Amino acid sequence: MAMLTPPVIVKLPAWRRRLLLVLVLLGFAALLGRSVYLQSFHKRFLQEKGDARYNRTLTLPSQRGKITDRYGELLAISSPVESVWANPSDVKINANQTKRIADLLGLKVAVVDKKLANSEREFVYLKRRVSPELASEVMKLEVPGVYLQREYKRYYPAGQVTAHLVGFTGIDDKGQEGFELTMNEMLSGKSGSRRVIKDRAGHIVEDLEAVKVPQDGHDVTLSIDRRIQYLAHRELSKAVEKYKATAGAAIVLDAKTGEVLAMVNVPTYNPNNPVNIAGKTRNRAITDTFEPGSTMKTVTAAAALESGKYQPDTQIQTAPGYMNIGSATIHDAHPHGVLTVSEVIQKSSNVGAVKMSLSLEPQYLWNIYNQIGFGAKTRIGFPGEASGRVRDYKTWRPIEQATMSYGHGISVTLLQLARAYTVFANDGEIKPVSLLKLKDVPVGAQVFSAKTAHEVKDMLELVVLPGGTALKAQVLGYRVAGKTGTTHKLGDRGYEKNKYVGSFVGMAPASNPRLIMAVMIDDPSSGEYYGGTVAAPVFSTVMADALRMLAVPQDAPNNNVVISSDVEDVKESI
């Protein structure tokens, strides 16, 4: 019988046992210390890393406010769209899915691959502002890590007709031009937010806090009448094309309130697709200045009457049709001889206007120019508005005082010019202008007496009658009062010989003005350039249709229009 071998008992030395115990205790101490460090001192960092994997703060976009005309017709509105985005670190996608997404979004496969390649990024747009239907097709592919984000796309129903007023927004729905820019904060509203926990598939598991509801933007109601805006744009476009002009602008004002019922510019652009728009976004009616030419003679005559030195029938000798001031010579288009103040306006005599101006004190004239709004912004609240230029009367030389009387050596915007004529429609009171619809009729400032305003308005009626410079401004069934203007354009070396600006500003019905319209045609190159030829017909057509749209009662018989082919306009002095 075999003998059992007794077990071998190995006994560690005491020092080794102690060393092993110390090492084990140190390991536990290290783990405990690390645990304390992570849970206490490094807790915030770990919490942020954990939250970054599961917590999401979703932006809830606010809807941008609408822009409408005075009757509520839409000029700008936001439509809901979807933006497709991805979290590259979560995306699990195969080649077929990549190609399908690229096809749906109109992208190249290489572009999609590049967007999804950087797994360190947690957010990348694949395509912004796609239709809800297209976005739904993308989501049907069920690609993990690909999501949708609700946004809004701006749409402009009136398109290029109101482009210079309304403007447009950029890809982030922020205003870039026009009222979209000026009133961006009011239109934008405030975005909301929602903090949630999402799983790996992108599904919302839990809301972490109450939803912060977005605040939609406020609506903006412009003073514009979209019908009149269309009319003005149509006729201005025709005139610019017919006379081969560089540009044109037109403004229609409510004579009683100063509200802008139409403001158009040519060339224009499409705000729904604002590409290749360099040089086309400028609202020339407000941002560009020009010399008003003979339209300024109306103000000169009003200042002369208001001074008490002149009456409408006061006679002024304009023969021999020119006059010398120092080394300069001022001409009339045709010699007229003795003219009354009314005839100076009707015939558009430079000599007559100069003689009235030089008989008045420079400071008195300067005060009139300032009170009527020249040389200062209208404060209409539109970006880029120009102030124009009126030199200080202390620096005037006689020739400068003389040329300003017929609109040379002074610069205005078309809006300033239209506003100035509210004086003659409101018993001598100038009205503030507004591009926003007003609730009440604003109080203006008295510039001339009611007597002076009525007398000048009567003179302006003569301008559109036989013997005047604007037969083509007549309107069937309505009396019209207005004034033409024609000036050489200013270039780098002074006045350019063959470049002109033709303008007309008038009101109707003259018995009780309801509308004021100013038209400017810049650099017509067809051979016709007088304001009575290129600008007055635009006024006539737009005014005729607008007065009937507004149901303004007629103040003249239907046979009041003189056919211009039988009686030609008088060519005004330039």
Q: Per-residue pLDDT tens for 146-175?
A: 888 787 889 999 999 999 999 999 888 888
User: Residue 215 has what pLDDT?
Assistant: 80
Question: Class of the 57-221 domain?
Answer: alpha beta
Distance CA 368, CA 362 (A): 10
* Domain spans of the chain, in order of start: 57-221, 226-270+282-549
pTM, rounded to two decimals:
0.83
pLDDT band for 45, please (50, 70, 90 cuts).
low
Q: Taking residues 550-569, what's their average pLDDT? A: 77
Least confident of 2-6, 341-345, 558-562: 2-6
In the chain, % of residues over pLDDT 70: 88
Spatial separation of the C-alpha atoms in residues 27 and 99, rounded to whole Å: 53
Q: Does 208 score more than 60 pLDDT?
A: no
Cβ atoms 570, 469 nearer than 8 A? yes
pLDDT of residue 113: 81
Average pLDDT (444-460) is 96
Whether the predicted pLDDT of 254 surpasses 80: yes
Are 57-221 and 226-270+282-549 the same fold in CATH? no
Higher pLDDT, 89 or 45: 89
Q: What is the mean pLDDT of the chain?
A: 87
Q: 565: pLDDT confidence band, cut at 50, 70 and 90?
A: very low
Give mean pLDDT, residues 95-109. Answer: 85
Helix axis angle, 297-306 relative to 362-371, nearest 10°?
A: 120
Active site residue 525: no
Mean pLDDT throughout 24-28?
82
Which two tokens mark 374? 């020249």
Helix, coil or strand: residue 83: strand
Q: Tokens for 334?
A: 């045709």
Q: Worst-scoring range by mean pLDDT, 73-77, 118-122, 197-201, 550-554?
A: 197-201
Tokens of 307: 């001074």
Question: What is 226-270+282-549's CATH number, 3.30.450.40, 3.40.710.10, 3.40.50.300, 3.20.20.140?
Answer: 3.40.710.10
pLDDT digits (tens, 9 = 90+) for 356-414: 999 999 999 999 999 999 999 999 988 889 999 999 999 999 999 999 999 999 999 99
| Three-state secondary structure of 332-392 | CCCCCCEEEHHHHHHHCCHHHHHHHHHCCCHHHHHHHHHHCCCCCCCCCCCCCCCCCECCC
Per-residue confidence (pLDDT) for residue 334, from 0 to 100: 85
Using pLDDT thresholds of 50, 70 and 90, give the confidence band for residue 566: very low
Residue 205: the pLDDT is: 52
pLDDT at 31: 82
pLDDT of residue 27: 81
- Concatenate the DSSP letters of all residues of 455-477 into one string: HHHHHHHHHTSTTSS-GGG-BTT
229 φ/ψ sector (left φ>0, alpha ψ -120 to 50, else beta) = alpha
Residue 265 has pLDDT above 60, yes or no: yes
pLDDT band with cut points at 50, 70 and 90 for residue 93: confident
Is residue 184 a contact partner of residue 174, using CB atoms and an 8 Å limit? yes
CB 323 within 8 A of CB 331: no
Residue 52 has pLDDT above 60, yes or no: no
HSE of 487 in the Cβ direction (CA atoms, 13 Å)? 28
Which tens digits make up the pLDDT trace of 411-434? 999 999 999 999 999 999 999 999
Determine phi and psi for 71, rounding to 5 degrees.
Answer: -105, 10
Q: Would you say residue 209 has pLDDT above 60?
A: no
* Percentage of residues of the chain with pLDDT beyond 90: 59
Give yes or no for a contact between 437 and 70, defined as CB atoms under 8 angstroms apart: yes
pLDDT for residue 54 is more than 70: no
Tell me which amino acid residue 260 is.
Answer: V
Question: 67-68 and 124-130 as β-strands: parallel, antiparallel, unpaired?
Answer: unpaired
* Segment among 50-54, 85-89, 263-267, 559-563 with least mean pLDDT: 50-54
- Give residue 394's pLDDT: 93
- Asked if 419 contacts 253 with a C-beta cutoff of 8 angstroms, the reply is yes
Q: Annotated catalytic residue: which of 83, 188, 237, 294?
A: 294
Which of 88-97, 263-272, 333-342, 535-544 is the least confident region?
88-97
